[in-house]
């Protein structure tokens, strides 16, 4: 088993950096409440052990809903990432 300092050394040698969108999780009280789709964090979300998922605030029912329409109780949110650019060179490579 590799020691923690060995793993850290390998990470620094390889130049690996964790992926980041540059966006921070915000308290749910600051989220838009106008049906805007956002990323939600709900530690009690019961499906497939997911805690991060797409959802929105339904202003008519005054409840947070998952994209599937289930009532959820998120604690934090983030804006959705920008979609990929349309065009040939921006597309991800096919799986091999």
Q: Where are the domains of the chain?
A: 20-79
Tens digits of residue pLDDT in 18-63 = 444 568 999 999 999 999 999 999 998 776 677 899 999 999 999 9
**Tokens 């838009």 appear where?**
32
pLDDT at 93: 57
Local confidence band at 4 (pLDDT 50, 70, 90 cut-offs): very low
Q: Is the pLDDT of residue 80 over 50?
A: yes
Whole-number average pLDDT of the chain: 78
**Tokens 């980041």 appear where?**
20
Contacts of 42 (CB under 8 A, 6+ apart): 51, 53, 72, 73, 74, 75
Backbone phi, psi, residue 43, to 5°: -65, -15
DSSP string, 45-82: --STT--EEEEEEETTTTEEEETTS-EE--SEEEEPPP
pLDDT at 86: 85
pLDDT at 64: 97
Q: Are 52 and 41 in contact, with CB atoms under 8 Å apart?
A: yes
Q: Is the pLDDT of residue 2 over 50?
A: no
């Amino acid at each position: 088993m590799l020691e923690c300092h060995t793993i850290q050394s390998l990470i620094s040698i390889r130049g690996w950096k964790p992926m980041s969108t540059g966006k921070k999780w915000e308290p749910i009280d600051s989220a838009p409440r106008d049906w805007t789709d956002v990323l939600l964090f709900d530690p009690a979300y019961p499906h497939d052990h997911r805690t991060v998922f797409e959802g929105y605030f339904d202003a008519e029912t005054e409840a947070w809903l998952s994209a599937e329409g289930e009532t959820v109780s998120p604690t934090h949110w983030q804006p959705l990432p920008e979609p990929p650019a349309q065009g040939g060179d921006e597309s991800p490579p096919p799986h091999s």
